Amino acid sequence: MKVIETPVQGLLIIEPDVKSDHRGYFFESWQAERYKKAGVKTHFIQDNESQSTQGVVRGLHYQLEPWAQAKLVRVVEGRILDVALDLRKGSPTFGKWFGLELDGDSKKQLYIPRGFAHGFSVLSKKAIFSYKCDNFYNNSFERCVNINDPDLAIDWRLGNIEPVISEKDRNAPFFSQAEMNFNFT
């Protein structure tokens, strides 16, 4: 397994060792001791999976403390642009986003610690997206930053495809008005 630090402190790209032969492939998508040695010391308690079609943009979602969630995200099938937005006040990258293409072929993962908003756009005809969380979902603490915030200027890499966005995401506040309670440590 190879771990790559990103320009945003705490965000890690993980390239697992994938064994392939004429039968297909095998890899460990999570192994607590190995990931802990690599810097992911998070205790995950929930797995989620979604399936979306090309042009869908989900996000930028997060939960306020004490229900914030760290995530380990990956694509089972298809290709997406995954985006993490730093919401940690005092961070040198506060208000900056990091994007990474993830796909079912490479098996790359992105570790997103607490204090980030997260979203993705589907670049292939279909994508199955899977992620681990270290805290349970709590609707009362869920928040969102608008994916079309001009100050963030995120290129969702959809070209001429009209984004498919939920009503909740479409009406989310811009970053400057979003509620957040995270501090950089």
pLDDT at 34: 92
Give the per-residue pLDDT at 185.
82
Q: Given this model, what pLDDT does residue 166 score?
A: 97
DSSP string, 144-167: E--TT-TTT------TTSPPB--H
CB 58 within 8 A of CB 170: no
Q: Tell me if residue 131 is catalytic.
A: yes
What is the full per-residue pLDDT of the chain (185 aa) written as tens digits?
A: 999 999 999 999 999 999 999 999 999 999 999 999 998 999 999 999 999 999 999 999 999 999 999 999 999 999 999 999 999 999 999 999 999 999 999 999 999 999 999 999 999 999 999 999 999 999 999 999 999 999 999 999 999 999 999 999 999 999 999 999 999 98
pLDDT value of position 2:
95
- Name the active-site residue from 35, 62, 111, 131: 131
End-to-end Cα separation, the chain, in angstroms? 27
Distance CA 57, CA 164 (A): 6
Q: Please give the domain boundaries of the chain with CATH numbers for all domains.
A: 2-183 (2.60.120.10)
Check residue 145 and give its pLDDT. 98
What's the confidence (pLDDT) of residue 179?
98
Question: Catalytic residue at 61?
Answer: yes
CA torsion angle 10 152 51 143 (round to 10): 80
Candidates 35, 61, 62, 111; catalytic one: 61
- The rounded distance, in Å, linking the Cα atoms of 90 and 184 is 5
Give the Cβ contact number of residue 25 at 10 Å. Answer: 10
